[in-house]
Chain A
């Protein structure tokens, strides 16, 4: 697993015909299959129980949210009419029937329905798709901006001062109030251009992305500054590599680990920010469920139907918790100083 372990002679695996004494150190590598860096990372990642569990939960949530609707054929937007509306609305989840015999439960709606008779399970899955899509896209945007600013600031000396002042300035802005203001002010033009749902999606992704790139930029800049002085960069430059290739082929792969860690943490913050916006009523339109929106819709009748707020809340928390554990494990696994301990 570690460098140390590789140096320990492994008699069992060494072919009998080898003429080298087993203690010949690094040459041992020849007899064992070559290990890539990512195998080491994976080995270290496996030892972090929380991270492993977190990644399983995260993959489970993503797959159930995206594959689930294919199996569960109820339309989340379907509004029952007439008698059906009276019959279907306000169904409680099935477990309520265990301790309350009078409760209105229905096996065809295991998590119940809302006050308009829409199926909660379908709405949760649909809401999850939106929340996770917003989280992933906003994270990608923030990473792109952060890496761009960080690499430029670290690599181009002239831009360093300006870009870092810009980063400081963004860090000094009161972000949540500004996101709230901007989300209300720019909603109408974007909705007119891309439709109410598409416009809001673009708006929220842009707002979260534009306001969360600063930590990534700082980390990447620091790493690039250190990498720039290393010999392999000098070697690459001496054989005539141009700047674009130098950055893309030599510098960027080496700052990949901090970027990956901030990617996982970025998903978590993006999902929380989106939910907070939807919760405060500044997010998606009411008939377009996301987890935060569902939570908010349930608050008014939380005394009679607590599950309508608690289920989406649990989904948000579980997703963020699993992503945070994933990021924690990833940070340990990608840090060569910790790896193998």
Chain B
């Protein structure tokens, strides 16, 4: 198992390098000009100097190398400095955003808590709801509960977040006036009052995200339970006189959770991507909105770094899912 994990970790490095190259080339070959926003009155030789100041003067491979060094060597040093208080990274050039002229990672760290709060809550909540639904609808297959669950998860699959978001805004903000339609990120939770406010503004985005995640996870849970319920070992467990509760909740559930947990792990990076739309609907200024803003402002270092962070998430969670699968299922041995 350990050798497998190490092998996968080593394999992840070229994958990530290749992905960063793809992202870099895509941005490089694109005809966008970061100088497009500069007024026309600025003379061309000044423009050329500004271009060099942004680091655009050098050939492509040198810039790619510099970005790699900045991202993989200098940024971790900054992180260590910040955590322990050392001065490894003093004087080193970091990845600078063209929009704000400040380090990209600083902005990402500022925006991360909002995304994590909303997306994380939605993910945890959805998983907690989805697993019992999946278990019960598999146990009572074709009952009215199962039919209802199938229908609701079909709706969860089909209604895109930009519509369900607008719909809940119309219902709960406009007509009922219960929740604010805009997520206020300046709100600081200090006492009970502000905590309630935070809860109120989180309900709608979490609801929208959770509907989608619940739909997927409960379907997987149901299918996985159905696969296991007809197995021989279940009949054996029943035949030796175990209570129905023990049979389902201990024997069947434990085996059914194996694929479901990997699906949950695989879904986490996808949720970060999907949250781009939800963040846009509720004006949560998290990572997704940062990306949209950066794309519109032609802020290439920011776009490159954010897209690469998404790619890292996908690769890492793929790895985690594979390792978890091997750890939990003794039938799977990679070596």
Are A and B physically bound partners? yes
A268 part of interface (Cβ distance < 8 Å): yes
A188 part of interface (Cβ distance < 8 Å): yes
Count chain B residues whose beta carbon lies closer than 8 angstroms to a beta carbon of A. 43
- Assess the B306–A317 pair: CB atoms within 8 A: no
User: In the complex, which of the residues A172, A175, A184 contacts B296, with contact meaning CB atoms closer than 8 Å?
Assistant: A184
User: In the complex, which of the residues B30, B159, B310, B318 contacts A186, with contact meaning CB atoms closer than 8 Å?
Assistant: B30
B152: min CB distance to chain A, Å:
12
Count chain A residues whose beta carbon lies closer than 8 angstroms to a beta carbon of B. 45
A169 part of interface (Cβ distance < 8 Å): yes
Instruction: Please classify the interface of chain B as helix (H, G, I), strand (E, B), loop, or mixed, using the class held by over half of its residues.
Output: helix
Residue-by-residue, is A142-183 near B (CB-CB < 8 Å gives 1, otherwise 0)?
000000000000000000000000001101111111101110
Q: Chain B contacts of A176 at CB under 8 A?
A: 273-274, 276
A189 part of interface (Cβ distance < 8 Å): yes
A173: min CB distance to chain B, Å:
6
- Assess the B292–A310 pair: CB atoms within 8 A: no
User: In the complex, which of the residues A182, A276, A298 contacts B160, with contact meaning CB atoms closer than 8 Å?
Assistant: A276
**Can you list 29 residue pairs at the A/B interface with Cβ under 8 Å?**
A169-B19, A171-B314, A172-B311, A173-B22, A173-B311, A173-B314, A174-B314, A180-B291, A180-B292, A181-B295, A181-B303, A185-B32, A186-B31, A279-B162, A280-B276, A295-B163, A302-B174, A306-B170, A306-B174, A310-B166, A310-B167, A310-B170, A313-B166, A316-B160, A316-B163, A317-B158, A320-B158, A321-B154, A321-B155
Q: A172-B314, A178-B26, A184-B295 are in contact. Are A302 and B166 (CB under 8 A)?
A: yes
B280 part of interface (Cβ distance < 8 Å): yes
Q: Chain A contacts of B155 at CB under 8 A?
A: 317, 321
Q: Which residue of B lies closest to A307 (CB)?
A: B170
B23 part of interface (Cβ distance < 8 Å): yes
User: In the complex, which of the residues A171, A268, A302 contacts B169, with contact meaning CB atoms closer than 8 Å?
Assistant: A302
Among A282, A296, A313, A328, the most chain B Cβ lie within 10 Å of the Cβ of A313
Top 4 A-B pairs ranked by shortest CB distance? A185-B30, A174-B310, A313-B163, A321-B158
Q: A169-B18, A185-B32, A302-B169 are in contact. Are A292 and B162 (CB under 8 A)?
A: yes
Q: A272-B160, A292-B162, A295-B163 are in contact. Are A177 and B273 (CB under 8 A)?
A: yes
A113 part of interface (Cβ distance < 8 Å): no
CA A54 – CA B250 in complex, angstroms?
38
- Assess the B307–A178 pair: CB atoms within 8 A: yes
Q: Chain A contacts of B318 at CB under 8 A?
A: 172
* B contact set with A: CB distance below 8 Å: 15, 18-19, 22-23, 26-27, 30-32, 154-155, 157-160, 162-163, 166-167, 169-170, 174, 269, 273-274, 276-277, 280-281, 291-292, 295-296, 303, 306-307, 310-311, 313-315, 318
CA A175 – CA B19 in complex, angstroms?
12
Q: Chain B contacts of A320 at CB under 8 A?
A: 157-160
A162: min CB distance to chain B, Å:
13
A299 part of interface (Cβ distance < 8 Å): yes
CA A317 – CA B215 in complex, angstroms?
15
A324 part of interface (Cβ distance < 8 Å): yes
Q: Given A279-B277, A295-B163, A309-B166, 10 more contacts at CB 8 Å?
A: A168-B15, A174-B273, A180-B291, A276-B277, A279-B280, A306-B174, A313-B163, A317-B158, A320-B158, A320-B160
- Assess the B158–A268 pair: CB atoms within 8 A: yes
CA A180 – CA B310 in complex, angstroms?
14
A303 part of interface (Cβ distance < 8 Å): yes
Q: A321-B155, A324-B154 are in contact. Are A174 and B311 (CB under 8 A)?
A: yes
- Assess the A172–B307 pair: CB atoms within 8 A: no
